[in-house]
Amino acid sequence: MALISLVFPIFNEEAVLPVLIARLEALLPTLELNGDQIEVLFINDGSRDGSLGQLRELVQTRSWVRVLSFSRNFGHQVAVTAGMHHARGAAVVLLDADLQDPPELLPEMIRLWRDEGWEVVYGKRRSREGETAFKLLTAAIFYKTLQRLTSVAIPENTGDFRLMDRKVVDALNTMGEQHRFLRGMAAWVGFKQHALEYDRPARAAGETKYPFRKMFKLAMDAITGFSYAPLKLSRDLGIFIALAAIAYGVVQAARYAIAPNSFEPGWTSIIVVLSLLSGVQLVTLGLIGEYIGRIYDEVKGRPLYLLSEKLGFRDEDPSQSQSTNSRPS
């Protein structure tokens, strides 16, 4: 018998929670028939709708539900991290509450983990229903770029949907960086990993919690967290422009030496060169600023998240229901 922990980050998911619970309750007998026990951790990431009220009711009526509630919105990646910190299972499964990560795949993921010895079983999207052409295109560009920039092999067309053995979760729990890209971190720790392909359905209800702004931030966290390539690119671009400027100066000097009377100095070339150099300097400073900003966040040493409530943790000291979670040591 194994305890399997299911981790669901929740942010304004009032519309989808009843559907999710119905799907889980239909699945639980199948899992329990195989000798497994299930705990479900919901992490309320500062929801502003009725999600927390529904979660409180679930804790009262279902013994397998546990709830962590943040003091404010800390973000999806931090919410998943909190779930891993508090999960007790021999295996931990990360899923999105919108049911785009089908819980019906759990029996196969558990089988691959238990019977075939895979320590990470991650979902690989064969198709992505209900997503715009723009999102599909930007996702493809992002993964191709990430593959080229990083030395860590991060699988394409994957999200955070994965089952992880306890040893993998323990390894991830030692990693306390503020700007988190969990699918990259899970690839970095290694272990035996297997891709389970599936067709990703459309969101069951509600609206996406990852608009373009958040997707862009996640992409920046991924690139700056796993690659120094942007800094090297700035260096190489600076060297190239410096050499080009020297070559341009040599050509202009030669022209003047050969035919000084025909040489007509103009403002256009000056403005173009100055604008180009200024632009390169600003871009370079911006890239350096991204890394310095992340260093600043790490040096401050603030906790990843703060908890306002812990519900359903019946085997723990009640005095710990109001807690602050700092980084793991």
222: in domain: no
Q: Are strands 37-44 and 91-94 parallel, antiparallel or unpaired?
A: unpaired
pLDDT score at 308: 86
Are residues 320 and 172 part of one domain?
yes
Structure tokens at 198: 């599936």
- Choice among 48-52, 198-202, 209-213, 278-282 with the minimum mean pLDDT: 209-213
Higher pLDDT, 240 or 72: 72
- Domain tally, the chain: 2
Are residues 256 and 185 part of one domain?
no
Rounded to an integer, the average pLDDT of 26-37 is: 79
Are residues 62 and 20 part of one domain?
yes
Rounded to an integer, the average pLDDT of 139-154 is: 67
Residue-number span of the structural domain to which 181 is assigned: 3-209+302-325
241: in domain: yes
Alpha helices in the chain (DSSP H): 17-33, 51-61, 76-86, 106-114, 133-149, 166-173, 182-189, 212-226, 229-258, 267-300
Are residues 51 and 200 part of one domain?
yes
Rounded to an integer, the average pLDDT of 284-299 is: 71
Phi and psi based region of residue 224 (left: phi greater than 0; alpha: psi -120 to 50; beta: remaining): alpha
Of 40-44, 143-147, 270-274, the range with the highest mean pLDDT is: 40-44
Are residues 306 and 287 part of one domain?
no
Are residues 90 and 32 part of one domain?
yes
Are residues 278 and 183 part of one domain?
no
Are residues 267 and 177 part of one domain?
no
Higher pLDDT, 217 or 198: 198
pLDDT above 70 (res 229): no
Are residues 156 and 28 part of one domain?
yes
168: in domain: yes
Rounded to an integer, the average pLDDT of 93-115 is: 87
Are residues 285 and 185 part of one domain?
no
Are residues 310 and 270 part of one domain?
no
Are residues 253 and 173 part of one domain?
no
pLDDT band at 328 (very low <50, low <70, confident <90, very high): very low
pLDDT score at 68: 92
Q: Are strands 324-325 and 305-311 parallel, antiparallel or unpaired?
A: antiparallel
223: in domain: no
